[in-house]
Amino acid sequence: MALNNIYVLYLLGFLPSFVWLLFYLRKDRHPESNKTVIKIFVYGMLSAVTAIFLEKQYLFIHNFLNSRNTGLSIAFLVLSGAVIEETVKYSAAWLGVFRNKELDEPFDVMLYLIISALGFAALENILVLAKFNPLLTTFRALEISSWRFASATFLHALCSGTLGYWAAVSFCRRTRKRFYIIVGLGISVGLHALYNWSIMKMPGAGKLFLPLVILIVLGVLTGYWFKKLKKMKSVCVIR
């Protein structure tokens, strides 16, 4: 049966992000207001629009490189996409809530980055489903939504969570603040780019194995970092 209800398409696009959002919000001992959560989620969705615009602008560079060196063009494509997406998700959180009075503990920084990423992923999921419409069947839409729940949506949350941890550490240090931000951005961009490259270019089982390893490693690290931030004193001064 064809999926001809646009509202169902939106629902299936939002669903992966919504489930992960509920999962991560439950980790907060001092819950944020619904207004703040919605605000950063919407900012994350808007950051996806920004990413789409920026990614279209560098396609001409990719095409230029592709005519001379295919390997270099692929490397540029995956790395540029990861840099843009991780940067805009961080910018959404920074613009939206990093100066908010509710930001009163290191844990919040990491959580806000994840919420921003889930907003980003929600719009991305909707656009992916819309690309196949109106020929998309309900079963196929559910299949795509489920797959993105366990892959792309989860990846966005984990990569932003990685950057969020290092950002939280930077806000709680008097010196070398930029160093921690650069470290976090480097790790999140590097793993995001490696994930994209593996699903695009790796042959056979590697196309599934390496992304799975990346998600598992990031998932374990994110859980560890959440616990570590909960033990840190509320000494963050956001500027």
Q: What is the pLDDT of residues 210-234, one digit of tens each?
A: 999 999 999 999 999 999 998 886 5
Which ranges of the chain have pLDDT less than 70? 1-5, 59-78, 102, 133-135, 233-239
Question: Residue 32 gets which letter from DSSP?
Answer: P
85: left (phi over 0), alpha (psi -120 to 50) or beta: alpha
Give pLDDT, residue 239.
47
Residue with tokens 């799975």: 212
The answer to whether residue 128 sits within a structural domain is: yes
Give pLDDT, residue 26.
92
What count of other Cβ atoms lies within 10 Å of the Cβ of residue 49? 13
Beta bridge partners of 137: 2
Residues 6 or more apart whose CB falls under 8 angstroms from that of 2 comprise: 134, 135, 136, 137, 138
Give pLDDT, residue 59.
66
The answer to whether residue 200 sits within a structural domain is: yes
The domain tally of the chain equals: 1
Give pLDDT, residue 1.
46
The answer to whether residue 54 sits within a structural domain is: yes
Q: Which residues of 103-132 are buried (b: 16+ CB within 10 A; e: fewer)?
A: bebbbbbbbbbbbbbbbbbbbbbbeebeee
The answer to whether residue 226 sits within a structural domain is: yes
The answer to whether residue 237 sits within a structural domain is: no
Domain limits for position 137: 6-230
The answer to whether residue 1 sits within a structural domain is: no
Share of the chain above pLDDT 70, in %: 85
Residues 6 or more apart whose CB falls under 8 angstroms from that of 224 comprise: none
Residue with tokens 């859980």: 223
The answer to whether residue 239 sits within a structural domain is: no
Radius of gyration of the chain (CA): 18
Residue with tokens 């009163």: 104
| 87: its two tokens | 């940067």
Beta bridge partners of 2: 137
